[in-house]
């Protein structure tokens, strides 16, 4: 992956952010139980920063609510994302950041799948394979340099 060259997509289109989730009365009721839903997963990943721009994945429309599916019975989560341009070299890094964020924050009972939306990237199959290979993801996150880059993407989210 070539991280040193300048940004590839110099003038990306920027999308509006969704409003914060409204808190309902039932949210304060300790006895009612709230299942993890699509919106909650989306809230976890929408604040991830793009590696190139000072913008979040949501603002670049890389991820949206429709791209998230969750099945609480089968304990699976699937996230589909759309790189801003079809030859984006950052696609793997974005996918890795999404994986890392979900790895840190999602209960371990879920099996997570991260994919590129069909037809959104020229190397789609290759990248999907990389992202969903457990060993390769673990190895990538153990690489100090790569981990620092990924952490930078997911850390600034609450600042």
Contact between 73 and other proteins by CB under 8 A: the answer reads no
From residue 23 to residue 42, the character string flagging contacts with other proteins as x (rule: CB under 8 A) and all else as - is x---xx-x--xx-x---x--
State which residue, 61 or 89, has the beta carbon closest to other proteins: 61
User: Residue 108 interacts with other proteins (CB under 8 A)?
Assistant: yes
Token pair belonging to 87: 């030859």
Rule CB under 8 A: choose which of 2, 5, 16, 135 binds other proteins: 16
Q: How many CA atoms lie within 13 A of 153 on its CB side?
A: 28
Going through 18-141 in order, the beta strands assigned E by DSSP cover 68-71, 76-81, 111-116
Which of 36, 122 has the CB closer to other proteins? 36
The tokens of 119 are what? Answer: 């037809």
* 75 counts as binding other proteins under rule CB under 8 A: no
CA 141, CA 83: separation in Å to the nearest integer?
21
Angle between helix axes 134-142 and 144-155 (nearest 10 degrees) is 90
CA distances, 22 to each of 17, 47, 134, 140 (Å): 14, 17, 35, 37
Number of residues in contact with other proteins, rule: CB under 8 A? 28
Q: Who contacts 2 (Cβ-Cβ below 8 Å, separation ≥6)? A: 89
CB 13 within 8 A of CB 61: yes
155 near other proteins, rule: CB under 8 A: yes
Residue whose CB is less far from other proteins, 16 or 135: 16
Position 15 contacts other proteins (CB under 8 A): yes
Query: Should residue 142 be labelled a site residue for other proteins when binding is judged by CB under 8 A?
Result: no
Q: Minimum distance from CB of 32 to other proteins (Å)?
A: 8
Binding-site ranges for other proteins (CB under 8 A):
13-16, 23, 27-28, 30, 33-34, 36, 40, 43-44, 104-109, 147-148, 151-152, 154-155, 157-158
């Amino acid at each position: 992956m070539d991280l040193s060259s300048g940004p590839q997509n110099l003038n990306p289109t920027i999308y509006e952010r969704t409003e914060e989730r409204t808190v309902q009365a039932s949210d304060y009721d300790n006895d009612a139980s709230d299942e993890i839903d699509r919106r909650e997963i989306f809230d976890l990943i929408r604040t991830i920063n793009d590696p190139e721009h000072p913008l979040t994945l949501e603002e670049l429309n890389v991820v949206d609510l429709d791209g998230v599916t969750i099945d609480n019975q089968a304990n699976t989560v699937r996230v589909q994302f759309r790189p801003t341009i079809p030859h984006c070299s950052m696609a793997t890094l974005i996918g890795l950041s999404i994986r890392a964020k979900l790895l840190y924050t999602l209960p371990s009972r879920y099996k997570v799948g991260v994919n590129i939306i069909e037809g959104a990237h020229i190397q789609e199959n290759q990248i999907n394979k990389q992202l969903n290979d457990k060993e390769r993801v673990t190895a990538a996150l153990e690489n100090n340099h790569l981990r620092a880059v990924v952490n930078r993407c997911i850390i600034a989210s609450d600042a």
